[in-house]
Amino acid sequence: MKPSDNPISNGKEHTSRQVSGGTAGLLLRILAPIALLALGIFGYSKLSIAVPEEDQPRRQRKPVETRVLELKREDYRVKIPSQGNIRAHGLVNLTSEVPGKVQAIYPPFEEGAFFSKGDILLEINPIDLQVALISAQAQVAAAQLNLAKEEALAEQARLDWKDLGYEDEPSALVRREPQLKAARQGLLLAEAQEESALRNLARTKVTAPFDGRVLRRTVGVGQSIGPSTALAEIFATDYSEVRLPVSTLNIRDVTLPEDASDPPLAVTLRDGLDDQSSTEWSARILRTEGALDSSTLELFAIARIEDPFGLQSEHPPLRIGQPVIAAIPGKTLKDVFVIPREAVSQLSRIRIVDPATLKLGSSYIRPLHSDDDNIIFRDPSLEDGTLLALTRLVYAPDGGGVIIITEENDEIPVDSAAGEVTSTTADKGTTGRLKP
């Protein structure tokens, strides 16, 4: 029998091969990670050697472009903006003094019509008042007759007393003095009633009390009216007024007249409806109201406009209720800088440019006055000739170079290497050198 045919020996050989194969696989699983770790440490040691860096040239900041304004001290007259609506002077309700029926309305009494003092505006039917006048005249005649009778009786009583031979003076009753007094008073009453009837008859023609204009008429022909019946709203045309509010923050900047003894303050009015209109009206502030407005705490100044409807001049009419814009002149601020509002950023910061080096800087101001376009301040640390940057430079640092953009689109860049300024005119194609 061959050895290979022995089943016992074949089993031992198979078991031996399995043991040797398992040992080799275990060693491979242990040695592979160790080899990878060693390879990594070796590679790190070779690749982690610091390579010396070469010094990079420092990049220079790019100059910023801006428009500039040369600062110069000046005297500035403060103007306080205000607005208001034109209101009528002498606005009254025209009333009737006598009753009757309206029988005629004259052209000056139409709505919007102008009238002069004494013009007949409206006429009331006078029949009833004519009857009252005739009755009053009859009473006057009767009173005159009664007085004449009493005077004759008194004279007869005096003569009779004398004929009787009485030496003493007769009494007042004998002389009929009470009767005479009553007759005289009766005549005076009758004459007064006649005058009243005459006045009432004249009042049937309603006349204008002043030079003015009809705002609104409330009666018509055929309408029955009584005493104190409103006939129309009329107003005077000699001048108009406007209430101009002044903020309490601006009162310190202006001197307003308090009463008629103070000198008036001239002010110019412009149309508040049309921004494109160049029409202006001259006015005078004559007084101020005695109390602040309870809701806005503003002080109202009263300005007067003479001849608002242009009746005596060629100015366009200034109608009642029309809104107007005013610029009230205030005090004069001495030695101040006046700069555009656009040049001031938050926290009252401005950017300035040194005219010698064209380097950018910053300054913080304290405004004395401001309006819609300008800000006025005083700063002794700023010199005349300092350039104010008008362009918003949010991220530009102080000390950086500046390229000045002129109104003709010229640029003045900074040549930092040569310490000079180059001026280039794009539209002319020329280049010049300007040393600081």
Per residue of the chain (436 residues), give pLDDT as tens.
444 455 444 554 555 555 555 676 677 777 777 877 777 777 666 666 555 555 566 666 788 888 999 999 999 999 999 999 999 988 999 999 999 999 999 999 999 999 999 999 999 999 999 999 999 999 999 999 999 998 888 888 888 787 777 767 778 887 788 889 999 999 999 999 999 999 999 999 999 999 999 999 999 999 999 988 899 999 999 999 999 999 988 888 899 998 878 899 999 999 998 888 888 999 999 999 989 988 888 999 999 999 999 888 888 899 999 999 999 999 999 999 999 999 998 788 999 998 888 899 999 999 988 888 899 999 998 989 999 999 888 788 888 888 888 765 444 444 433 333 333 333 333 333 233 3
CA distance 339 to 336: 10
320 close to 235: Cβ distance less than 8 angstroms: yes
Positions of CATH 2.40.420 in the chain: 65-73+334-434
- List Cα–Cα distances, 44 to 18, 36, 47, 52, in angstroms: 40, 12, 5, 18
Pairing relationship of beta strands 402-405 and 64-66 according to DSSP bridges = parallel
| Architecture of the domain defined by 65-73+334-434 | Beta Barrel (2.40)
The CATH class that applies to domain 78-87+238-333 reads mainly beta
Positions of CATH 2.40.30.170 in the chain: 78-87+238-333
Distant-in-sequence, close-in-space partners of 8: CB < 8 Å, separation ≥ 6: none
Q: What is the pLDDT of residue 169?
A: 77
**First-to-last C-alpha distance (Å) of the chain:** 121
Q: What is the pLDDT of residue 106?
A: 95
Q: What is the pLDDT of residue 50?
A: 57
CA distance 105 to 122: 5
Strand order of the β-sheet with 360-364 is 68-70, 387-389, 349-353, 360-364
256 close to 244: Cβ distance less than 8 angstroms: no
